[in-house]
Structure 1
Amino acid sequence: MGTTWSARFVAPPGLDTAPVRAALVAELDGVIAAMSPWEPMSEISRFNRAPAGSWHTLSPPFFHVLQAGLALAEATGGAFDPAAGALVDLWGFGPAPARLAPPTPAQIEAARAAGGWRGIAIDPPARRARQPGGARLDLSGIAKGHAVDRLATRLAAIGHPHALVEIGGELRGGGVKPDGQPWWVAVEAPPGVAVPPIRVALHGLSIATSGDYRRWFDHDGRRHAHSIDPRTGRTVANGIASVTILHANCMTADALATALLVLGTDAALAYADAHDIAALIVERGDVGTTEHLSPAFAAMLG
């Protein structure tokens, strides 16, 4: 996934942690084998190369993540789109080489025409998905959170439910530390943005942040961040610096952070309010930075 991971857990003195690490690495290897577009023989890469009209039986984790992504795409009117891989590649934020200038409008429209979540049909009883022809799945906005959930679940299954798991800044905490305290973490703030520090207790809770500062390129005085609005095919430029989501599972938090960043402040707050989502939005403005807290997020802060 091109990032780092860590797992902290409460264990008895003298425990050999090598088997625990091996179990977690096996889970991560499974995520990569299914959902990494950088691996030519991964499930997602094989699907993306498949002929038009072909149906493919997917592994349970892959189908679970794809189905969740398609459901969020429908719920957000395409602000989140697991089939926007052609656009991601076109802008140089996927396996394709990085860009120094934006693609042309004609290239953007061609990439939009080639994919989109509406073209992906699924057959849940058979755990199948249909390649309409030329569609490219990209699960980078949801797979990292899924991987966090898998590590936390695996740790609990082998007897270590009191744990804090992190992959690339997405975290999930369960149980408590030896001193009885929950896993306290600081909410990630965009670089160079002056906002009051916020700490949250991850006790059966996950946190994910999406921002405009992770990957980008500058062209003609404008920053083109890696967040793409699948509805327009262009990089997001709505003033949002970051969106942080608190949720019981990290996969949902990860995907919602991406979707709300694309929606823009007003629509994102309305969506969060309507669906009882704990969201923190940091917005850059002409006269400074503004933090917006959804009612659910404010309630969690007490």
Structure 2
Amino acid sequence: MNQVLIPTGFAPPVPPRGLPLRQLQGATMGTTWSVRCATTIDPARLRAGIVAQLERVTAEMSGWRADSDLYRFNRLPAGASLRLPEGFRRVLACALETAAATDGAFDPTLGALVDLWGFGAQPAETEGPPPETRIAAARACAGWRRIGFDAATGEAWQPGGLALDLSGIAKGFAVDLVAEWLLAAGVRDCLVEIGGELRGHGVKPDGSPWWVGIESPPGPRDASPPFVVALHGLAMASSGEYRRCFHHAGRLYGHTLDPLSGQPIDNGIAAITVLHPSCMQADALATAFAVMGPAKALDHARHRGIAALLVLRDGSGGRSEHVSPALAAMLD
């Protein structure tokens, strides 16, 4: 039996009976995407529109493309500025707002550190952890308060040596962008997924919700049943160190870095899932909560009304699950 999560205030909409269920998929951002939707729109037109939205995100914010706006910004000389395109502007504004709200637990300026640890576009220079001197130098280049940004005009100023890395938020934005395009095209019943981040609207043609299981990290779990959520006007993003990591000298080093230490986090959190109307915000919050640690993350979620699930490791190799009040209120 599952633990069922239903959005508060959920009123089942009129199902799109008689409409065919379209299913499309592809590759983007080093991962895969999929869309399921009830519509009569030609699949070729749907695919073209979806791919155009994904291409827009990678052209603006990819750290792997030498022609992206992010790549250009990271290589500006100190004092120079770049007027960001609309999508990049939205993402950077949300990233900096999340950084301020979480006291820097989410920091979009860790590009040099991410590359140094081998989790970015550049491969790691050494096997295992990098030298402390290199970590300190990369940390000195970072700091979300260093960047100048005018959200109204989209102008961003390079303070010198700062490297943006938006991998903790851009994928969620891409999910939102595709969902918004579908809704604008008249598709009111859809489920969008990119690399495990999701957003759903409406219901399936048979009237049932878009049921999605919350991924559980590998290894033993406690006795509680798994969670499934009805994604109706709701997005879901998860963060787990088991997804991107390496092992060295008997220790696991995950891809989520603590901005204060410049090191991968090691605070007992195995995985985090956040539910939010915006996948972009859910994506950023999942990363922030991983950095904050269990107590601060749950306290932040409680005071902000954020639905979150934290999976914690214990000293004996087991794990336990902890939910915020907002998520507990969704239990059916």
User: 1:214 matched to which residue of 2?
Assistant: 243
Aligned residue pair count:
300
Runs of 4+ in 1 over 3 A off after TM superposition: none
Q: CA-to-partner distance for each residue in 1:100-157, whole Å, 9 max, x for gaps? A: 3101111111000012111111112221111000000000000000000001111111
C-alpha separation between the residues in 2 aligned to 1:78 and 1:180? Answer: 42
Shift of 1:77: 1.4
Shift of 1:169: 0.3
User: 1:7 matched to which residue of 2?
Assistant: 35
Shift of 1:11: 1.6
Matched AA of 2:206: D
Matched AA of 1:23: G
User: 1:297 matched to which residue of 2?
Assistant: 327
TM-score (norm 2): 0.89
Percent of aligned pairs with the same residue?
56
User: 1:233 matched to which residue of 2?
Assistant: 262
2:67 maps to which of 24, 34, 41: 41
User: Is 1:158 matched up with 2:185?
Assistant: yes
C-alpha separation between the residues in 1 aligned to 2:313 and 2:90? Answer: 35
Flag the 1:32–1:193 CA change in 2: closer, same or farther, 3 A.
farther
Contact 1:206 1:250 in 2 (8 A): yes
User: 1:184 matched to which residue of 2?
Assistant: 211
Q: RMSD of the TM alignment (CA)? A: 1.0
User: Is 1:53 matched up with 2:79?
Assistant: yes
C-alpha separation between the residues in 2 aligned to 1:282 and 1:193? Answer: 11
Shift of 1:212: 0.8
Flag the 1:191–1:122 CA change in 2: closer, same or farther, 3 A.
same
Q: CA-to-partner distance for each residue in 1:138-180, whole Å, 9 max, x for gaps? A: 0000000000000111111112120000000000000111111
Question: Could you say which structure has the higher helix fraction?
Answer: 1
Matched residue SS, 1:153 = helix
User: Is 1:107 matched up with 2:137?
Assistant: no
Greater RCO structure (CA 8 Å; 6+ sep): 2
User: Is 1:83 matched up with 2:112?
Assistant: no
Contact 2:221 2:320 in 1 (8 A): no
C-alpha separation between the residues in 1 aligned to 2:142 and 2:66? Answer: 19
User: 2:94 matched to which residue of 1?
Assistant: 68
Contact 2:116 2:135 in 1 (8 A): yes
User: 1:96 matched to which residue of 2?
Assistant: 122
